[in-house]
């Protein structure tokens, strides 16, 4: 079977639709909850799930996602248990899963072992926030043979001369961070979005996902008009924080996500 990420984007591209990518912190409020939430997100219209691997020093994350990671760690989430959770999810859902992580937990686990175990558990890709391509080129650990897609981040401040280097080593999709700073909900969409996505698209045939600060169906429609995928994270994580103790957490979350996911399918005139 081919990689689930590639298959999903090929299917959506054929119908001229953008993908809905949801981010949640694995283990928030518990790993049992994560195991139930991921299939529910798929049923609500999510095309791909980013699972945050809990880490004690998540520098790129805003306060909402930082607190989610802290709750997950307090609830007992570890790298081993998160991979076990993915394995359990695979019994219920084949939605593509990308692990959103920092380098430290992978190094502590052992890079080669982590890649092997993540792939075996059913993970489809890795988004390592603090791993620049220069380090990949100079470190043999990162040359591990694996089918896991290597998602690369590009920021608004990334010089055009560096974009080509970033996209050259990427696979799966490119994650364009539409705002400077850390993750978190925003009131509007960056005015330069279309221009920046076009500059990235000129260097790669990979799908381009846009995230950081997107939280409403209206914003989703704007982003879907120029991109291949829309990432919604903090808005979902915030609701998990609010409803985490409620017995109907999964149902509430599904009802919140469904109209956002539907918005990615209502715009068919992407570039």
- For the segment 201-220, the average pLDDT, to the nearest whole number, is 93
pLDDT in tens, 119-131: 999 999 999 988 8
Whether 130 maps to a domain, the answer reads yes
Q: Which domain holds residue 34?
A: 4-264
Phi, psi torsion values for 30, nearest 5 degrees: -160, 165
For the question of residue 50 being annotated catalytic, the response is yes
Whether 271 maps to a domain, the answer reads no
Q: Which of 6, 28, 47, 50 is catalytic?
A: 50
Whether 226 maps to a domain, the answer reads yes
Query: Residue 48 half-sphere exposure, CB side, CA atoms within 13 Å?
Result: 34
Phi, psi torsion values for 79, nearest 5 degrees: -60, -45
Whether 270 maps to a domain, the answer reads no
Measure CA 64 to chain center: 16
State the virtual CA torsion across 40, 210, 124, 254 in degrees, nearest 10: 0
| Residue 136 vs residue 13, higher pLDDT | 13
The total number of structural domains in the chain stands at: 1
Assign residue 96 the CATH number of its domain. 3.20.20.70
pLDDT in tens, 144-167: 678 999 999 999 889 988 999 899
Q: Which of 35, 47, 61, 117 is catalytic?
A: 61
DSSP class of residue 171 equals: -
Task: Return the pLDDT at 144.
Answer: 66
- In terms of pTM, does the model score above 0.85? yes
């Amino acid at each position: 079977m081919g990689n689930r990420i590639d298959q999903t984007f090929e299917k959506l591209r054929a119908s001229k639709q953008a993908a809905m990518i949801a981010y949640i912190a694995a283990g928030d409020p518990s790993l049992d909850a994560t195991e139930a939430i991921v299939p529910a997100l798929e049923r609500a219209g999510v095309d791909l799930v980013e699972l945050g691997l809990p880490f004690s020093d998540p520098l790129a994350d805003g306060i909402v996602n930082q607190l989610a990671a802290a709750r997950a760690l307090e609830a007992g989430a570890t790298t081993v248990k998160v991979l076990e959770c993915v394995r359990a999810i695979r019994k219920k859902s084949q939605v593509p899963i990308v692990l959103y992580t920092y380098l430290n937990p992978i190094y502590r686990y052992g890079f080669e072992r982590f890649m092997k175990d993540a792939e075996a558990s059913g993970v489809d890709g890795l988004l390592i926030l603090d791993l620049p391509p220069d380090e990949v080129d100079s470190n043999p650990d990162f040359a591990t043979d694996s089918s896991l897609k290597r998602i690369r981040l590009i920021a608004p401040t990334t010089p055009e001369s560096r974009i080509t280097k970033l996209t050259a080593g990427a696979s799966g999709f490119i994650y364009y961070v539409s705002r400077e700073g850390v993750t978190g909900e925003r009131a509007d969409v960056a005015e330069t979005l279309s221009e920046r996505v076009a500059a990235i698209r000129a260097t790669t045939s990979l799908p381009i996902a846009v995230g950081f600060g997107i939280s409403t169906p209206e914003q989703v429609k704007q982003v879907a008009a120029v991109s291949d995928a829309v990432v919604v994270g903090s808005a979902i994580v915030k609701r998990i924080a609010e409803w985490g103790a409620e017995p109907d957490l999964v149902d509430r979350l599904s009802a919140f996500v469904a109209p956002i996911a539907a918005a990615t399918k209502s715009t068919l005139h992407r570039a």
